[in-house]
Each structure stands twice: as C-alpha cells, then as structure tokens.
Structure 1
Amino acid sequence: MASIPLGSRTTRGLNTVQAFLRLVIFLVSLTVFFGFTILVSGLMTALAPFLGPATLAVGGLVSLILAIMVSRTLYVVPEYERVVLLRLGKFIGVKGPGLFWVIPYPPFFRSVAATLDIRVQTRIIKAAETLTADNVPVGTEAVIFMRVEDPERAALRVANYYEAVFQAANSALKDTVGTMELSDLLGDRQTVSDKLKNIIDSAASSFGVDVTSVEITDVHVPPDLIQELSVLAQSRRSAQAKIAEAEAEKIIAEKFEEASRTLSSRAMEMYRLNVLERLGREEGSQIVVYGMGGGDGDMGQAISAAPAG
C-alpha cells in the first residue's frame, strides 16, 4: 500500500472491529485449511507411511500462510475514511465506509493506494515580516479549514495534498497582505479572509481538497507603529467630537433663529424675563438687567450707575 499523505493517517490498530473480524477469519481459514491438510496427510500415509508426516508439516505451513493472506483481505472502514483502490496499478474506484474485500491475488489483483481521512482538518499559516501596500512590515497568522472532497485526486494527483495546500495557502497569504494597506488589514479582516479563501480554494481544488473557511487570527504590528496608530486614532476621535459639537451648535443656532422669526418683540421680552427668573434661582447669583426699556436709554444708565449687589 502506498504511503498515506500527512494529515490523513489513521491508526489502523485502533480499528478493533476490523482486527476482531480478521482474527475470526484467520481462525476459520486456518481450521479449514489445516483440516484439509490432515485429510490429505491421511491419504498420503495410506499410500506411503513416510509421506504422511511430511505432508502434514508442509500442509500446516501452507495453511498458516493462506489463513493470514485471506484474513488480510478484509477491510472495515469508518464513516470518516475512504480507501482508494487500484487494479494492476490503475485506479478502479473508492471504497468506504463499511466492510469490503480487497483481494490482491489472481484474478482480482486489487490493492489499496491510500486511506484518506475526509474530516475537516486545520492548519495554521504564517506570513512573517511581509510588507503591506503602504510599506509597513507586519506578521500575519491565519488558520485554514479544509477537507478531502475528491479522494482520487488527493491520493493520485499529488504526493502530499496536505503539504501542497499548506504551501499554496502560505503563498496566497503573503500575496494578499502585500496588496492591502495596514488599515484595511486591521479593520476589515472578514474581507481579507474571504479573499484568501477564494484564492486558496482555487488552488486546492486541483488536489481534490475543499477549503471550507479561512480565518485571520492575528496581525503583528511593530510596537513603535502601534503607538503612532494610537495617537492617530485619538486625534481622529477628538476631531470627530469637535465636528459633532459644531454640528450640534449649528442646529441650535438655526433653531434660535427660527424661534426669533416666529416670536413677537413682546413675546421675546417675556422669554428673556423667564430666562432671567430661572437664572436667579441659583444661590449667590447676581443679575444685571439693561436694555429692556424699549429704547429708554436712561434706564440703562441708571442701572449701570447703581452699586453692585
């Protein structure tokens, strides 16, 4: 059997059902073959006494070998595995899950090329010190989730599909980081992940592998750049706060202007008095009133000449 690609190996010794069934077949086969050997040995002893022991010894050895060969043709494959079969070196199909026979002897000449695990597997990829589009050196880590979709391609088109997908993913990560600016890489990871998935899945499909997902797990930025980005972010937040405050003051001013056009002069005077009354409720407050005489300048002069308090 050909070597199984890394990442798809399973411990066959853990398949206790297959081991048990093979043992049962071995014992049954050995009993049948050895019983036939004893029968033949008895016939040979009747013909010539010295042929009986020799026939029994040779027949016993042959029975043991045949029993081992028969028992090893049985396979029990779990739900998450597939077996790629060859006949005289040519692909004939994929078996599994369940119980089946692979007979390498004439006239079948079948053999197992590889046993593949079709469950979702993960692999961490890293792009160290890669320059972004704005010339910032960053280290990026991502994890890819993949599964064997076509066992024939995964076993026969590439020597090690797991390593092939890893190399394609590693190259795609570096290329993607190199085409993006740092702000996009930090702020829109989902878009980066989707872009990576499409690139890697396109390459992996030729190996019979389906890339189900790619997730950016970490972006390493130089420490001095982190401090600069923090200052820049704080400046942006401060600028946005000032803009929001200015917009609010503009709206208030517009509302005041609208109210001034709506209210009459007498209503405005009453509104001013109301405002002054509310201000006067504060403890220790002092209010100086002038200009409310409807054009009487003497009132303003009298108030200004009055002593404070």
Structure 2
Amino acid sequence: MGYSIGALLVLVTLTLLVPAAVKVFAVTVFEYEKGLKYTRGRFTAVLRPGLYWVVPHFTTIRKVDVRPTFVSLSGQEVLSSDGVPLKVSLAAKFEIVGPEAAVNKIENYQTALYLELQLALRQIVASSPIDDLLQKRNDFGKQLLDITSAKAKEMGLRLLEVEIKDVMFPGEIKKIFTQVVKARQEGLAALERARGETAALRNLANAAHLIERNPALLQLRLLQVVGQSSGNTVVLGVPPQSGPIPIRTREAEEVETQHPLPEKEE
C-alpha cells in the first residue's frame, strides 16, 4: 500500500514538473485550415482541424489556409497573331487541395501559379486574331483553365475559375475600332430606313393597283376624308370613267321596304 502511494506521488510530480520543464504548448488548427506536422524537421502528417500539443524544437505544426483564393494578373502586354498590341487582365480562383505539395514541393505556390497563368495567356493571345479575342472572351477563359489545371494540380492546387477581365488597346487602335463600330451602326440604320421606304412604296403600289381595278374605291376614300373634316368647303372632281356612286337615303329605304318593286319578267 505504501509503495503504491509513493509511486502515485512520483507520477503526479512528474506530471506537474515535466510540462513545466519541457514547455509544451497547444496549437489549434481551425476548420478552414490544414496543419502540416514536422517532427525533427521531417514532414510526418497532415493534421485536420483540432487542438494539438507541441514540444518546441522537437515538433512543429505549420497551418495552411485552404479556403478559395483569388489571384489577379493586370495589364499583361502581349501581341495578337495579327500584330495588334494589347493589355490583357485576368482573374483566377483556386484552392489548396494538397497542402503537403503546395508547401513542401515549391517555395511559393502563388508566385508559381501566377507565372503559369501568365505564360498560358501569352500563348493563347499570340495565336489568336484580335476579332476572336473580342468575341470569344469566355472561350479563352476556358482554354486558360484547361492549360494551367495540370500544372496547378502538381503544385497541390485546384483551379476553379479563370476569366479574362479586360482587353485594352492603344489610343490609335481604339479610334479605329470606334470608327468601325460607328460605320456599322450607320449601315444598320440606313438598312432599316431602306426597308421602311420599300415597305411604304410596296403599300402605295398595292393601293394603286386596287384603285386601277376598282375606281370607286378612290371616291369612297375621298368621301371618308370629307366626312372627317368640318367647317370646310370641298370641291370634288370625279373622273369621267368612274360611274356615279348610288346614294340611298333612309326614307327611300323605308319606302322600298313597304312597297317593294315588282320583279322584272325575263
């Protein structure tokens, strides 16, 4: 019994004294992080979120933020395949899926990714004419994503999005494109005016054909115009080839209804 109590006292004493002598401290790996554990300088494990005890000079824990991150390339000066100088800006979104590779295999994964995106951008722009760059910006973003995804994977990264933000031209090129757009809009406006005039002429031609086949239509139209006007004296001239328009009053219609005319014998 005495031996057991003595052993217990020794154990309690060691429990209290050893941490004070060794100076063990705690490291917390948060939910949005991964921890890289190094023992005597050698990588030993990837740690999940939680609380870990660390012995200085023996164990080291390096925390890596694995949340999605953005990288931006602004004002990259490149030449298109038709020799037009451009400044292109793009943005990329990535996340760390292999913290061991991102930290241990490369000195700075963000700088390396920046360089890979820059090289891929120059490759695509240099092989494309200016019209394609303006009209297919979304397609070029997908091409950049396809080209750089493999390299990013080797660095422990996963590219989520790559988009071209801006395509900027020198001042002279801007003026030329402005003139081209203006000429295109003026051409479309002239085309619409021509279509309207053609439709109006077609309607006039159809009306002329109708009047030629039915001269009385012109007289009816004139009477409609006269009926819509008030307080004016209008003198109408009727073409000789046009027959008179029979006008029947209401009294005449009532008399004809009461005393119908006898039918003519054949």
Counterpart for residue 133 of structure 1: 81
Counterpart for residue 303 of structure 1: none
Is 1:95 aligned to residue 47 of structure 2? yes
The worse-fitting range, judged by mean Cα deviation, of 220-229 and 191-200 is: 191-200
Counterpart for residue 244 of structure 1: 192
CA gap of 1:256–1:143, structure 2 versus 1, over 3 A, is same
Mapped to 1, the partners of 2:99 and 2:226 lie a distance apart of 87
In the alignment of these two chains, the number of paired residues is 228
Mapped to 1, the partners of 2:13 and 2:161 lie a distance apart of 49
C-alpha contact (below 8 Å) 2:219/2:238 kept by paired residues: no
Counterpart for residue 85 of structure 1: 37
Structure 1 residue 166, shift from structure 2 partner: 0.8
C-alpha contact (below 8 Å) 2:29/2:63 kept by paired residues: no
Mapped to 2, the partners of 1:135 and 1:194 lie a distance apart of 23
User: What TM-score results when the alignment is normalised by the length of structure 2?
Assistant: 0.68
Structure 1 residue 131, shift from structure 2 partner: 0.9
> What does residue range 228-243 of structure 1 map to in structure 2 within 5 Å?
228-243=176-191
C-alpha contact (below 8 Å) 1:127/1:173 kept by paired residues: no
1:52-99 residue CA offsets vs partner (Å, 9 max, x unmatched): xxxxxxxxxxx7542x2x22xx32111221112356776543112121
Structure 1 residue 250, shift from structure 2 partner: 3.1
Counterpart for residue 96 of structure 2: 148
Structure 1 residue 182, shift from structure 2 partner: 2.4
CA gap of 1:75–1:33, structure 2 versus 1, over 3 A, is same
> What does residue range 41-52 of structure 1 map to in structure 2 within 5 Å?
none
AA matched with 2:133: L
Mapped to 1, the partners of 2:149 and 2:240 lie a distance apart of 84
Structure 1 residue 223, shift from structure 2 partner: 0.5
AA matched with 1:84: L
CA gap of 1:140–1:89, structure 2 versus 1, over 3 A, is same
> What does residue range 53-202 of structure 1 map to in structure 2 within 5 Å?
65-66=21-22, 68=23, 70-71=24-25, 74-86=26-38, 92-102=44-54, 111-112=60-61, 114-126=62-74, 128-202=76-150
Name stretches of at least 5 consecutive residues in structure 2 with no aligned partner.
Answer: 1-11, 243-266
Is 1:270 aligned to residue 222 of structure 2? no
Name stretches of at least 5 consecutive residues in structure 1 with no aligned partner.
Answer: 1-27, 35-62, 282-286, 296-309
CA gap of 1:87–1:183, structure 2 versus 1, over 3 A, is same
1:258-282 residue CA offsets vs partner (Å, 9 max, x unmatched): 555566422442366379869x99x
Counterpart for residue 159 of structure 2: 211
Mapped to 1, the partners of 2:13 and 2:110 lie a distance apart of 40
